[in-house]
C-alpha cells in the first residue's frame, strides 16, 4: 500500500474552524499505571511459561483507560509497576509525537538495565496502552491515528502444524514450524513442505520457520532438498547474533527469501539488521520491539533499506493496526493452533481471520478488552 502514515502527526481532535462548534482539545494525563501477568493455562512449555505476554493498564486523570500488551512475563510486570509507573504518572500527551517523546524518555531511563529484551518488552506494553488511550480519547481506531485511510481487509497467513485445517478455513498462505533435530530432519522438512504445497495448491505462499536451529551447512543442504517446493521464505535460520552469516547465506538461497527479526528490539537493533543486510523480510513483534512507536521507526528504516516488513504475530490487534496504517506488506500472521485445541482467549473483541483475510475493527483504540477471568 502507498500509505502515508503521518509519523509525528498531531493526531488531535479535529477543530471545525469557522463553525460555531469547536471541540475542545483534550490533553491526557497519566494517573496510574499497572501491569499484570495473566493467569495463562495454555502457554507452550518453554520460556513462554514464565515470560509470556503481560497486560498493561494506564488510566488517565479523566478516568479513561488504555490497555496495552507487552512481553516479558513477571519480570516485565516488575519493570512496569516499579520503575515505569514511578516516572510515568503525571506525564501528559495528546498526540502520536507526544507518545514518541514518552517512549524516548522511558527508553533513556531504562538504559542501565534495558536496550533489548525484557525491558523493551515492558516498554512495548506501555507504548501500546498509551496508543489505546489516545485512540479512545479521539474516538478513532489506532490505525486512524496514523493514517486517514487505513487498509481494511488484510491478507493473512497461518502459522502452525495443522495444514488440512488451515486449508479448510480458507487460508492461502501457511508457515510451518520445523526445527532441526539431526539428519532425519531433511526428510521430515521435505515431507511437511510437500504436504503444504499439495494441500494449499501451486499459488499459495508456503514458508518454513526453523527457530534458529540451522547452521551454514544445514541451510545449504536444506535449500537443496527443498528447492522443488517453491518456498516463499526461510525464517530465523540462525540466531540474531549471526546476522552477517545470515546476510551471506541470503545470497545463496535465492529466490527463497530470508525472514527474521522477532528477537530484535527497537530501531537501534534493526539498524544492525539493515547494516548486515541479513533479511529480505523484517519481522518486528509490535508487542516486544517497542510498540507502535518503535514499529514506525523500524518501518522508516526498512524503507531506506528496501526491506519488506511483515510483523511477527501481525494478525493480533497491535500489529494489525500498524499493518493497516503503514507500508507493511499486506500479510498478517495468525496463529490458529490446531483443530479442537483449547486456547487462552485473553482479548475480547480481537478480530478473527475469515477466508484468509482479517480486518481491524472500527472501535476506538485497539478495540479490545482483556478477559477479566484471566487477570
Ligand atoms: Mg518465527
196-243 residue pLDDT tens: 999 999 999 999 999 999 999 999 999 999 999 999 999 999 999 999
pLDDT averaged over every residue in the chain: 94
Q: Tell me the percentage of the chain whose pLDDT exceeds 90.
A: 92
Half-sphere exposure of 198 (CA within 13 A, CB side): 7
Tell me how far the alpha carbon of residue 157 lies from the centroid of ligand 1, in angstroms. Answer: 13
Question: Residue 26 — very low, low, confident or very high, per pLDDT cuts 50/70/90?
Answer: confident
Q: How far apart are CA 143 and CA 320, in angstroms?
A: 8
Tell me how far the alpha carbon of residue 236 lies from the centroid of ligand 1, in angstroms. Answer: 6
**Model pLDDT, residue 263:** 98
Residue 10 pLDDT exceeds 90? no
Domains, the chain, in order of start with CATH, read 28-140 (3.30.390.10), 154-374 (3.20.20.120)
Across 72-99, average pLDDT: 98
Tell me how far the alpha carbon of residue 203 lies from the centroid of ligand 1, in angstroms. Answer: 22
**Model pLDDT, residue 13:** 40
Radius of gyration of the chain (CA): 21
User: Mind telling me the catalytic residues?
Assistant: 312
Query: Closest Cα partner for 219 from 190, 192, 246, 242?
Result: 246
Instruction: State yes or no: cis peptide before 342, omega within 30 of 0.
Output: no
**Model pLDDT, residue 272:** 98
Q: Which three cell numbers stand for residue 53?
A: 505476554
**144-177: pLDDT as tens digits:** 999 999 999 999 999 999 999 999 999 999 999 9
**265-318: pLDDT as tens digits:** 999 999 999 999 999 999 999 999 999 999 999 999 999 999 999 999 999 999
Tell me how far the alpha carbon of residue 156 lies from the centroid of ligand 1, in angstroms. Answer: 15
Q: Which three cell numbers stand for residue 28?
A: 491526557
Tell me how far the alpha carbon of residue 243 lies from the centroid of ligand 1, in angstroms. Answer: 16
Tell me how far the alpha carbon of residue 159 lies from the centroid of ligand 1, in angstroms. Answer: 9
Give 59-89 as a DSSP string. EETTS-EEEEEE-SHHHHHHIIIIIIHHHHT
pTM of the model: 0.93
**Model pLDDT, residue 9:** 39
- Surrounding ion ligand 1 within 5 Å at CB are 209, 235
**296-306: pLDDT as tens digits:** 999 999 999 99
Q: 103 phi and psi, to 5 degrees?
A: -55, -50
Across 80-84, average pLDDT: 98
Tell me how far the alpha carbon of residue 336 lies from the centroid of ligand 1, in angstroms. Answer: 14
**Model pLDDT, residue 15:** 40
Which of 3-17, 99-113, 208-222, 343-357 is predicted least confidently? 3-17
What number of residues does the chain have?
A: 375
**Model pLDDT, residue 294:** 98
**102-127: pLDDT as tens digits:** 999 999 999 999 999 999 999 999 99
**Model pLDDT, residue 265:** 98
Tell me how far the alpha carbon of residue 65 lies from the centroid of ligand 1, in angstroms. Answer: 32
Tell me how far the alpha carbon of residue 234 lies from the centroid of ligand 1, in angstroms. Answer: 10
Tell me how far the alpha carbon of residue 347 lies from the centroid of ligand 1, in angstroms. Answer: 22
Q: Please enumerate in sequence order all residues whose Cβ is within 8 A of that of 72, keeping only pairs 6 or more positions apart, or say none.
A: 51, 54, 79, 117, 118, 119, 121, 122
**Model pLDDT, residue 22:** 44
Question: Residue 25 — very low, low, confident or very high, per pLDDT cuts 50/70/90?
Answer: low
Amino acid at each position: 500500500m502507498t500509505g502515508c502514515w503521518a509519523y509525528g502527526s498531531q493526531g488531535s481532535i479535529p477543530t471545525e474552524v469557522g463553525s460555531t462548534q469547536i471541540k475542545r482539545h483534550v490533553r491526557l494525563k497519566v494517573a496510574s499505571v499497572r501491569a499484570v501477568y495473566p493467569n495463562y493455562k495454555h502457554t507452550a512449555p518453554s520460556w513462554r511459561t514464565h515470560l509470556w505476554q503481560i497486560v498493561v493498564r494506564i488510566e488517565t486523570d479523566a478516568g479513561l483507560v488504555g490497555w496495552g500488551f507487552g512481553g516479558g512475563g513477571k519480570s516485565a510486570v516488575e519493570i512496569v509497576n516499579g520503575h515505569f509507573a514511578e516516572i510515568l504518572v503525571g506525564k501528559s500527551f495528546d498526540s502520536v509525537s507526544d507518545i514518541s517523546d514518552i517512549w524516548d524518555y522511558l527508553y533513556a531511563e531504562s538504559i542501565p538495565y534495558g536496550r533489548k529484551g525484557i525491558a523493551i518488552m515492558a516498554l512495548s506494553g506501555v507504548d501500546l496502552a498509551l496508543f489505546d488511550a489516545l485512540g479512545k480519547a479521539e474516538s478513532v481506531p489506532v490505525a486512524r491515528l496514523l493514517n486517514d485511510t487505513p487498509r481494511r481487509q488484510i491478507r493473512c497467513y497461518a502459522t502452525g502444524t495443522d495444514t488440512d485445517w488451515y486449508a479448510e478455513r480458507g487460508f492461502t498462505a501457511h508457515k510451518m514450524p520445523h526445527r532441526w533435530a539431526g539428519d532425519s530432519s531433511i526428510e521430515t522438512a521435505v515431507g511437511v513442505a510437500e504436504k503444504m504445497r499439495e494441500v494449499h495448491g501451486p499459488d499459495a505462499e508456503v514458508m518454513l520457520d526453523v527457530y534458529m536451529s540451522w547452521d551454514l551447512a544445514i541451510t545449504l543442504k536444506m535449500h537443496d532438498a527443498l528447492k522443488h517446493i517453491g518456498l516463499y521464505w526461510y525464517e530465523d535460520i540462525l540466531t540474531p547474533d549471526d546476522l552477517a552469516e545470515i546476510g551471506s547465506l541470503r545470497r545463496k538461497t535465492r529466490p527463497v527469501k530470508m525472514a527474521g527479526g522477532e528477537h530484535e528490539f527497537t530501531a537501534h537493533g534493526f539498524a544492525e539488521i539493515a547494516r548486515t543486510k541479513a533479511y529480505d523480510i523484517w519481522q518486528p513483534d509490535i508487542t516486544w520491539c517497542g510498540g507502535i512507536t518503535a514499529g514506525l521507526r523500524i518501518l522508516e528504516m526498512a524503507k531506506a533499506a528496501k526491506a519488506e516488513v511483515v510483523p511477527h504475530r501481525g494478525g493480533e490487534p497491535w500489529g494489525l493496526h500498524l499493518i493497516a496504517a503503514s507500508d507493511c506488506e499486506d500479510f498478517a500472521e495468525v496463529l490458529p493452533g490446531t483443530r479442537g485445541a483449547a486456547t487462552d482467549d485473553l482479548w475480547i473483541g480481537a478480530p478473527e481471520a475469515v477466508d484468509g483475510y482479517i480486518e481491524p475493527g472500527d472501535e476506538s483504540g485497539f478495540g479490545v478488552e482483556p478477559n477479566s477471568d484471566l487477570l
